């Protein structure tokens, strides 16, 4: 289970970076060359999704919980915006949903 969670975290980080870099280019006037590592990061994201051993729909559903948590962590570390108590509650609910999905997949 820990291996799957770490794989989800790496997948989420690749997706967030792949989307954040074009955002910087489009909204913050960052250099256009940032699109190259963005594309590589999104390709890594797609490849990482293929490493999960269960059906893709279930992976996407469970991955969503980890993605929400990683996005809030990114908000805090990259954007300097501290998550609110409702952000943390929502993330906890997402992780609980992910746990239910993953536990059901093993049954």
Q: What is the pLDDT of residue 19?
A: 95
- Domain hosting residue 50, numbered range: 2-106
Q: What is the pLDDT of residue 61?
A: 80
Q: What is the pLDDT of residue 13?
A: 94
Report the alpha-carbon angle 61-56-34, nearest 5.
80
Number of domains in the chain: 1
Q: What is the pLDDT of residue 101?
A: 83
Query: For the chain, what percentages of helix, strand and coil (3-state, to nearest 5) are there?
Result: 85, 0, 15
| Average pLDDT per 10 consecutive residues for the chain, totaling 107 residues | 84 94 95 97 93 75 88 94 96 91 72
Q: What is the pLDDT of residue 105?
A: 65
Contact 12, 67 (CB under 8 A): yes
Q: What is the pLDDT of residue 82?
A: 96
């Amino acid at each position: 289970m820990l291996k799957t969670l770490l794989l989800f975290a790496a997948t989420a980080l690749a997706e967030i970076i792949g989307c954040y870099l074009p955002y910087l280019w489009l909204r913050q006037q960052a250099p256009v060359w940032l699109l190259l590592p963005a594309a590589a990061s999104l390709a890594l994201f797609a490849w990482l999704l293929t490493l999960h051993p269960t059906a893709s729909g279930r992976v996407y559903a469970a991955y969503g919980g980890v993605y929400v948590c990683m996005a809030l962590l990114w908000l805090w570390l990259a954007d300097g915006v501290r998550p609110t108590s409702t952000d943390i509650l929502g993330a906890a609910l997402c992780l609980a949903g992910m746990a239910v999905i993953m536990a059901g997949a093993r049954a």
